[in-house]
Structure formats: C-alpha cells, structure tokens
Homo-oligomer: A and B are copies of this chain.
Amino acid sequence: RINGDRLWASLMELAQIGATQKGGVKRLALTDLDKQGRDLVVSWAKQAGLTVTIDQIGNVFMRRAGKNPALPPIMSGSHIDTQPTGGKFDGNYGVLAALEVVRTLNDHNIETEAPIEVAFWTNEEGSRFVPVMMGSGVFCGAFSLETAYAAKDTEGKTVGDELERIGYKGTEVPGQHPIGAYFETHIEQGPVLEDADKVIGVVPGVLGLSWYDCIVTGMEAHAGPTPMALRKDALQISTKIMQEVVNIGNRYPPYGRGTVGMVQVFPNSRNVIPGEVKFSIDLRNVSSELLDTMHNEILAFVDKTSKDSGLSISVERVSYYPPCPFHPDCVNAVREATATLGYSTMDVVSGAGHDAIYTARLAPSGMIFVPCKDGISHNEIEDAKSEHLEAGCNVLLHAMLGRAG
C-alpha cells in the first residue's frame, strides 16, 4: 500500500507554486512557475534516488533501476502544467502518484525486474501554446519538434525559446526513450464515478474527437429600421446549428458528445442584427464509425441550413483525434489490481484527451480514473478526496508491479 498522507502532502506542496486566491493553480507551460514546479518534482525524484533524463521537447523521465537493465521501463506519469484557472489535481496527481509508487517501492526495498519510470510531459493543457498534449505528441511523432518549437504564445514567445530559457531543453531525441508499458492516473474530469458512487474507473479507452470552426455570414443591419422579412440574421441561423450539434450528441448514446463552447458575434452591439457569427463545434464518440456518422450529419445539416436560409456558412475541421482503445493487457492490469485491492469500480471511457493516447501509439498504455468533486476540472474549485487519490495510487502500484515483475 502506498502512503496516502505523503501523496496528499506532495500534491499540496506542488500546488503552492502558482496557487491562486480561489484555491486553484495557475502554472502555465514553460513559465517561471512551471520551471519552479519542474525543479521541485525533479528534486523529489533525486531524493528518491532516480536518474533524470530530459528530451528536446522538455519531457522529463525519472528512472528507478530494475534488476534487468535491458528491459524497457514500466512508465507512469502525466503533466504538471495547468489551465489559467486550473486546479491542484489535473495532471499533477498523475505525476505525483507515480512518484509515490517509487517512494513506496523504496520504503519496502522492492526491486523490480524492469526499471520503473516517472514521467512528466510538456504542455499537455495547450492553454499557452497549441497544440495540446505537445510533449507526448512530439514524442510519438504526431507532429514534429520544429512545429512544436515554433508554437507562439499571445506575446509571441516560442516554445523553443521558452524551453531554453527555463533550462528544460534536453538533449535526448524525443521518442527514442523506450517504454515497456505506460499507466496514467488522473481525476475523471467528469461526473460519472461520483454519480455511481464508485472509487476506481477502469478506462477502456478515450473518445475520438473532432473540432470544427463554423462561420455564418449574414448581413449586419440596424435592429430598428430593418423589417423582420428583410433580415439576414447570422445569429438566428447559427442557433439552429448550435441546437443540431447537441441533437447529434444525443442521437448516439452513451458516448456521443456535442458541444458549442465558444461563440463570437460581430459586431456584437445591442441594436445591430449580427452580420457574422463564428462558433466552435466539438463532437466526440467512442468509435470511428460513430464519429464519422456525426461528422457527416453536421456537414449535411450545415449544407441544408445554408440552402434554406440563403446565408453562406463555412465549417472547417480544425482538429481530429481518433478514438483510442487502450491495450487489453494494461486495461486488465488495472482491472485486476482494483479487484485485488477490493475497491468499488466501473468502466469509464475517458471523454477527454490525455498524454496516454499518444503513448498508446508506441507502447501498451492504460489509465486509472478517480472521482473529482461534481465532475469539475479546468476550474480553481476542482477538488478530489484524499482517500480516492490514495486508492488510485494503490491500483497504479499493483498494476505497475504486475507489468514490471
């Protein structure tokens, strides 16, 4: 069993770096605060006797030797960067749970066959620099190191320069680091476990995700003198599409998701009929077939709406992550560890992307979810119970031991 109090204490100590007034954390990727957070985790790793390697995109791997150095390491980790109004647990829990596994092995003088590694990946959140899951994305070859280096924040600072500045531009070529298997513990970021009153979520996979930008172009006109029949109201036409996005999500349960999260209205003035509306569409589902069906339905609806209204409507896919089923061996390792430890459990497909979807392209991967309060994350009020975090970490310990031997 791991030491739940020690895990909690480390989480709270790390959360002080970038702590916000409302109890959250603001520690954006590659800022001075990120450097402080990284330095603290690395110092803990060194205290635990781990060997630290940094790759060219700033991913950090902290290794506990195994009996057989030829075996690829059994790895666990996540990220320590946060949203601008982020919480204490998203990402940080996954990194510190992996560290707690190592500390527990040290306490008990357990030597594993394969090495054990704790990892944290650069810029998972994508708040300061896009794309999201940058470090793991470069690691698995989803996009190039050059693309990542060139990414700019709103002030024009690049990932390449900022990595150099905070001293985390390593020398190892990303992806050259061997991985035997990868496990990631994470707060669920949704309400399913809490709703069902279960402690451990076994994660069979991650929903596929399609992101779109939709622009409806009408005709800006004065709200008073323009009769209803002569209007080309871009917002009214947009509301039809916004509703269809949700209808499509509802049409393919239980994993269909349809969300409009971002809306910009032009000119956005009280007495002007909107001439242009730009909004985002987020569609998700568990299989490529279902996600393709949803994709086709939204395109067809936009097409029909444009014809019916006479307004020009563009919709462009801006991101796509295919559904990611995790490796049966890893999923079973988590399921069995949970059963051995006697925690209440259910399967929870991850609705959100995680670094594990990229490691899954290179090595068997799996995830362990624990409940978070009201399903809330990406929010300063994000919260989780110490006993749940401890349970998730115990499951991680046993799953990793099973793989590492």
The chain A residues found within 8 Å of chain B, CB to CB, are 85, 188-192, 195, 207, 209, 211, 220-228, 230, 233, 235-236, 239, 242-243, 246, 249-250, 253-254, 256-263, 265, 267-274, 280, 282, 284, 350-353, 375-379
Contacts and interface: CB of A to CB of B under 8 A. Distances in A.
A222 B282 CA distance: 11
Contact of A269 (B188, B258, B261, B352): B261
Contact of A225 (B242, B254, B350): B350
24 contacts: A189-B222, A189-B224, A190-B221, A191-B221, A191-B225, A191-B230, A192-B227, A222-B351, A223-B284, A226-B257, A228-B253, A233-B246, A236-B242, A236-B246, A236-B260, A259-B271, A259-B273, A261-B271, A261-B272, A261-B273, A262-B270, A263-B268, A270-B280, A271-B282
A209 B195 CA distance: 47
B379 A220 contact: yes
Given A268-B263, A352-B222, A190 B249 contact: no
A207 B226 CA distance: 12
B261 A375 contact: no
Contact of A351 (B220, B224, B235, B280): B224
Nearest to A255: B227
A85 B266 CA distance: 13
A291 to B, nearest CB: 13
B225 A192 contact: yes
B192 A224 contact: no
A350 to B, nearest CB: 7
B228 A249 contact: yes
B284 A224 contact: yes
Contacts of A195: 230
Q: Identify the interface centre among A207, A228, A284, A376: most chain B CB within 10 Å of its CB.
A: A228
Question: What 7 pairs across the A-B complex have the smallest Cβ distances?
Answer: A190-B225, A224-B351, A225-B351, A223-B259, A224-B352, A239-B239, A270-B280
A399 to B, nearest CB: 21
Contact of A236 (B85, B211, B243): B243
A244 to B, nearest CB: 10
A268 to B, nearest CB: 5
A273 to B, nearest CB: 6
A261 B223 contact: yes
A260 B265 CA distance: 10
A221 B351 contact: no
A376 B221 contact: yes
A90 B178 CA distance: 70
Contacts of A352: 222, 224-225, 271
B259 A188 contact: no
Contacts of A249: 228
Contact of A256 (B228, B250, B350): B228
Contacts of A376: 220-221
Given A242-B239, A243-B236, A263-B265, A225 B188 contact: yes
Contacts of A207: 224
A3 to B, nearest CB: 29
Contacts of A284: 223-224
Nearest to A223: B259
Contacts of A243: 236, 239
Contacts of A269: 261-262, 378
A49 to B, nearest CB: 36
A262 B268 contact: yes
Given A224-B190, A259-B271, A375 B230 contact: yes
Given A190-B227, A224-B284, A233-B259, 7 more contacts: A191-B221, A209-B224, A211-B271, A224-B352, A228-B253, A263-B265, A269-B378
A323 to B, nearest CB: 12
